[in-house]
Amino acid sequence: MNKHAISPQTEGVPEASPKNHPPVKFGKIGVLIVNLGTPDGTSYRPMRRYLAEFLTDKRVIEWPRVLWYPILYGIVLNKRPQRVGEAYKSIWNTERDESYLRTFTRSQAEKLAAALADHPSMIVDWGMRYGNPSIPERLDTLKDAGCERILLYPLYPQYAAATTATVNDKAFQALMAMRWQPAIRTVPPYHDDPVYIDAIAGSITDHLSTLDWQPEVTLASFHGIPQSYFDKGDPYHCQSQKTARLVRETLGWTTEQFQTTFQSRFGPEDWLQPYTDETVEKLAKSGVKRLAIINPGFVSDCLETLEEIAGEAEEIFLEHGGERFTHIPCLNDTPRGMTVIEHVVRRELQGWI
């Protein structure tokens, strides 16, 4: 078995195999956790390769191909790789020469495997929707290791077609090429799960307790989607709002103290509002001096949290009159974060283990 998968090899061979055919492994249950993706490097070629895969996904960009591809290949993929590459350089894990999203996702898989060690039939693996390791590659590895059942876990608490659905799409496409398919379960959104809500609220309390000041306002900044996707029925906005409301109620804060915004818009369309960057500027100009931001929709810190929020949002706030700013880290592979991941996995494996 490829060493990427985190579990001992399965034992057992079918009673009969064709002559000279390698033994077929069976009897295992796999868990594949999947995050958005990451480039293999920050230079032009790996960045272009990564962005091309991401921006040609019809779940991400729903414009007609005849309109979008000339813009993508004529402008975006010629200019954007350099700019995004520089942004990645600013938050790159230089020790491991990889993005922190890859570092955290690998660690989450390793810690989940350790937490599930009471079930020797389990194999835990990890992959990315865009970039490496790919979903088809990891599904093949799990199947070859004997996994007859696989739980697919898109690492998104709130459902969106551009995140959860495209992970599932890629997995189902991989199954279409298999003669012997494993049984598949997919993890549903868990935006209002009490374990997840308590972990987010607890991480806020823990982080603020380390400061010698307290924020006047805390923003829950979620990744945005185009308004048109919401109008077509995507539940992401509603689920994000519910997450923020439940966290606010758990903390006992007012709607003025804890506000919801949306970040990372791209292109000319209107996206979900209020926008994070505009809200940060507005708060600073209105006299707010102390601001905190958390990203409840991100399971792991990444470019959008470390560079866009911890970097750019802080600059905007300080430039327009703010004095104190803090970014509250994602749950990542912390004990609180792993409690959520293990809880969701054990819940969705009921009946299999």
Instruction: Answer whether residue 276 is part of any domain.
Output: yes
The domain that holds 175 is classified in CATH as 3.40.50.1400
Question: Looking at the structure, do residues 219 and 273 belong to the same domain, yes or no?
Answer: yes
Q: How many domains does the chain have?
A: 2
Instruction: Answer whether residue 353 is part of any domain.
Output: no
Question: How much is the pLDDT for 26?
Answer: 86
Tens digits of pLDDT across the chain (353 residues)? 455 666 544 444 455 556 666 777 889 999 999 999 999 999 999 999 999 999 999 999 999 999 999 999 999 999 999 999 999 999 999 999 999 999 999 999 999 999 999 999 999 999 999 999 999 999 999 999 999 999 999 999 999 999 999 999 999 999 999 999 999 999 999 999 999 999 999 999 999 999 999 999 999 999 999 999 999 999 999 999 999 999 999 999 999 999 999 999 998 999 999 999 999 999 999 999 999 999 999 999 999 999 999 999 999 999 999 999 999 999 999 999 999 999 999 999 999 99
φ, ψ (nearest 5 deg) of residue 51:
-65, -35
Instruction: Answer whether residue 91 is part of any domain.
Output: yes
Question: Looking at the structure, do residues 177 and 273 belong to the same domain, yes or no?
Answer: no
Sheet arrangement for strand 290-294: 258-263, 217-223, 290-294, 324-328
Question: Looking at the structure, do residues 209 and 318 belong to the same domain, yes or no?
Answer: yes
Instruction: Answer whether residue 37 is part of any domain.
Output: yes
Question: Looking at the structure, do residues 317 and 288 belong to the same domain, yes or no?
Answer: yes
- Sign of CA pseudo-dihedral 303, 307, 313, 316: negative
Question: Looking at the structure, do residues 38 and 179 belong to the same domain, yes or no?
Answer: yes
Question: Looking at the structure, do residues 185 and 86 belong to the same domain, yes or no?
Answer: yes
Question: Looking at the structure, do residues 290 and 241 belong to the same domain, yes or no?
Answer: yes
Q: Which tokens in the block code for residue 11?
A: 């034992």
Instruction: Answer whether residue 255 is part of any domain.
Output: yes
Question: Looking at the structure, do residues 317 and 344 belong to the same domain, yes or no?
Answer: no
Indicate the residue type of 170.
K
Instruction: Answer whether residue 14 is part of any domain.
Output: no
Instruction: Answer whether residue 202 is part of any domain.
Output: yes
Question: Looking at the structure, do residues 228 and 316 belong to the same domain, yes or no?
Answer: yes
Instruction: Answer whether residue 4 is part of any domain.
Output: no
- Domain range holding 274? 194-328
Question: Looking at the structure, do residues 180 and 34 belong to the same domain, yes or no?
Answer: yes
Question: Looking at the structure, do residues 205 and 342 belong to the same domain, yes or no?
Answer: no
pTM of this structure: 0.92
Question: Looking at the structure, do residues 214 and 156 belong to the same domain, yes or no?
Answer: no
